[in-house]
Structure 1
Amino acid sequence: MLNAFLQAVRPAAAGSVPVAKVSYRRAAVGGLDIFYRDAGPADAPVIVLLHGFPSSSHMFRDLIPALADRYRVIAPDYPGFGYSSAPAPEDFAYSFDALADVVETLLTDLGVNRYVLYMQDFGGPVGFRIAARHPERVNGLIVQNAVANLEGFAASAAGTFGPYWGDRNAETEKPVRGFLTAETTRFQYEHGSSARADHVSPDAWHHDQWLLDRPGNDRIQLELLYRYQDNVGAYPQWQAYLRAYQPNILVTWGDNDPFFTAAGRDLFKALVPATEVQSYDAGHFALETHGPEITAAIRAFLARVAPAA
């Protein structure tokens, strides 16, 4: 039994099998063109990677092939992100309910009805909605710097978004627009990663910023950042789901995140005592600096909750 477990956790030996090939695909979902990355055996257990802000499935470029030898890995870009359609807010009602609807429909159309959800940042509101709607489909949750309680917000973030949510106008929008700048995008990647600063690829923030800077994308992001308050209102529902269903949870947390705090990290174990928590000397995008450690933790978790044949 131990040997079987170790075999499931361990990546395939170099040269023993071909390196997992990532496919770059598109699907029509509700009139939108949704881009997603897909890798691994079609009949293997599925892990769905849900990206954060201001990123896209690009943030999982290294994780996908590291898991796809034994698992099917699906990583979509939400509407308004990455290479998916980005209609103007007048043409698509941007909200986290809508993003979750798109991802859920994509998975249904792909015939995927059981999965582990990996959720980072914006991926939390998307994933928790899907999990609460369909707890029977969830083999497990992997939470990486995504929160389900108000205490999980850093005071600085609350100070920026509270006024915007309370009274949306040009004045309260100004500090929120700061989240769309190249300086802030780079800050999100580099802050808290000083111990491994040379592991943070500049490709990551340049890629994100190039997409943020597309004409009209600022209006999309400002709408979603405004609608983030809907998530705060949904926290009691998500917490009730966690208490009632006690899902398998792995928390992989960058402890130096400037936006989400230890109180956000610790909520999951408080509600689901069997939660496994792995903390790292990392920032908001912990995969950039601690990819190998997080990958190993994920593989061990998957071997337990969704073992591959």
Structure 2
Amino acid sequence: MYSHACRYRDWLTLAAFLLTAGFAEAASPVTHYRTAEIGGVNIFYREAGPADAPVVLLLHGFPTSSHMFRNLIPALADRYHVIAPDYPGFGQSAAPDHKQFAYTFAHYADLIDGLADKLGAKQYALYLMDYGAPVGYRLALKHPERVTALIIQNGNAYEEGLKKFWDPIKAYWADGSEAHREALSFLVKPETTKFQYTDGVSDVTRIDPDNWGHDQALLDRSGNKDIQLDLFLDYGTNVPLYPKFQQFFRERQPPALIVWGKNDTIFPADGAYPYKRDLPDVEFHLLDTGHFALEDKADTMVPLIRDFLDRKVGAK
């Protein structure tokens, strides 16, 4: 009779063979989910990787959070100290009443600066997407010496990138009227949230529908609509800073990688090309996808990002 002991020995033999043959996968890096009080507000952040490794600071876009980096973080954290915060009003960070808290990009940059200081991040590569671009570039203006590299995914710094989609938002910037404010309510509706994930994507079966379900539940929290409408208005304060962002590019020449969804309606490729004027050595990749390129093109983007960081930031 074939005994339990025999079966156990066979299992051990098979396990040893798989280990010897290299079939056992290395353990994935652990992501930690933490909160820090910065400037009187609780900031949630995801953190992974060796504490003494080069820092990569991941800055998310609208209407999502650090959730957008959930797959990228473990893909980088074997070699890099990865930090991905949620801005106030997004994700798991606090969302104070908009009448008592300044929802501005300048304030966000100050808070992320404070978080970086608290975590001992003296230098960092910046991953900039959507809202993350003005937050990160404001941070770069504060501490240009700290920026080791730029990874730019549908993050605007040129007026050429503000096309037709932005016309109703520009009207709001012009007068700040209640009518123009309310006209932007469609931007926090479920159909718009889904649109941001699916528009320009050739194979939507690669997009997890939990994305828009997750984001919409957070957008629908009491008071969050006003938070978002305040931010749509304040986005106009970023545009006058574009020349300063561009001056930072020209003067500092940080290593830069562009991985941009070229079919994005919100930040089309028109905003990607001008980077070449100020960063002539930029590594430039337009991908056949939309706004949230990481959702369906991670298999293309992750190798590009890892190779870029290994060469330019120098993790060993």
Please report the TM-score for the alignment, with normalisation by the length of structure 1: 0.93
Task: Please say if 1:273 is aligned against 2:280.
Answer: yes
Judged with a 3 Å threshold, the aligned counterparts in structure 2 of structure 1 residues 74 and 14 are, in CA distance, closer, same or farther, namely farther
Q: Which moved more, 1:243-252 or 1:163-172?
A: 163-172
Name the counterpart of 1:240: 247
Q: Deviations over 1:190-245 (max 9, x none)?
A: 0000x221111111111110100000001111001100000111111111111111
Deviations 1:247-300 (A, max 9, x none): 111000000000112221011111110000111100000001101111111001
AA in 1 matched with 2:246:
Q
Amino acid corresponding to residue 229 of structure 1 in structure 2 = G
- In 2, the alpha carbon distance for the partners of 1:226 and 1:180 equals 14
Counterpart amino acid of 1:222?
L
| Partner SS, residue 29 of structure 2 | coil
Distance 1:191 1:262 in 2: 14
The residue number in structure 1 matching 2:58 is: 49
Deviation at 1:69, TM superposition (A): 1.0
Distance across 1 between alignment mates of 2:97 and 2:49 = 34
Please give the alpha-carbon distance, in whole angstroms, between the structure 1 residues aligned to 2:245 and 2:254: 12
CA contact (8 A) 1:25 1:37 kept: yes
1:156 to partner: Cα distance: 2.5
Q: Whole-Å Cα distance in 2 between the matches of residues 304 and 132 of structure 1?
A: 24
Asked whether the 8 Å contact 1:254–1:283 carries over to 2, the reply is yes
Amino acid at match of 1:166: A
- Unpaired runs of at least 5, structure 2: 1-21
Contact 1:269 1:276 in 2 (8 A): no
Superposition CA RMSD, Å? 1.1
Q: Which has the larger radius of gyration?
A: 2
**Higher relative contact order by CA 8 Å / sep ≥ 6: 1 or 2?**
1
Does 1:126 pair with 2:135?
yes
* 1:146 pairs with 2:155: yes
Q: Write the distance in 2 (CA, Å) between the matches of 1:168 and 1:112.
A: 37
Maintained 8 Å contact 1:46/1:71: yes
Correspondence for 1:226: 233
> 1:241 aligns to what SS in structure 2?
helix
Conserved? CA contact 1:19–1:65, under 8 Å: yes
Identity of aligned residues (%): 48
1:173 aligns with 2:181: yes
1:254 paired residue number: 261
Q: What residue in structure 2 maps to residue 4 of structure 1?
A: none
Give the letter for the 2:195 counterpart: F
Residue-by-residue CA offset, 1:122-164 (whole Å, 9 max, x unaligned)? 000000011122111111001100111111112132x111111
Structure 2 residue aligned with 1:186, among 179, 194, 213? 194
The SS at the match of 1:228 is helix
The offset of 1:16, in angstroms, is 5.3
Specify the code of the residue in structure 2 equivalent to 1:95: T
Q: Distance in 2 between matches of 1:274 and 1:265?
A: 14
Distance 1:128 1:169 in 2: 28
Partner residue, 2:9: none
Superposition pairs for residues 192-231 of structure 1, below 5 Å?
A: 192-193=200-201, 195-231=202-238
Q: Which amino acid aligns with 1:272?
A: L
The one-letter code matched in structure 1 to 2:109 is A
Determine helix, strand or coil for the equivalent of 1:302: helix
Is residue 40 of structure 1 aligned with residue 49 of structure 2?
A: yes
Q: Which residue of 1 aligns with 2:303?
A: 296
Residue 111 of structure 1, aligned match among 117, 120, 125: 120
Q: Give the aligned residue type for 2:177.
A: N
User: 2:110 maps to which residue?
Assistant: 101
**What amino acid is the match of 1:168?**
G
Confirm or deny: 8 A CA contact 1:49 1:74 kept in the other structure. yes
Gaps of 5+ in 1: 1-12
Aligned residue-pair number: 295
The superposition leaves residues 32-78 of structure 1 with CA deviations (integer Å, 9 ceiling, x where unpaired) of: 11100001111111101000000000001111111111111100000
Relative to 1, partners in 2 of residues 1:105 and 1:219: Cα closer, same or farther, differing over 3 Å?
same
2:27 is matched with: 18
TM-score (norm 2): 0.91
Shift of 1:110: 0.6
Distance across 2 between alignment mates of 1:180 and 1:189: 14
Change (3 A) 1:171 1:75: same
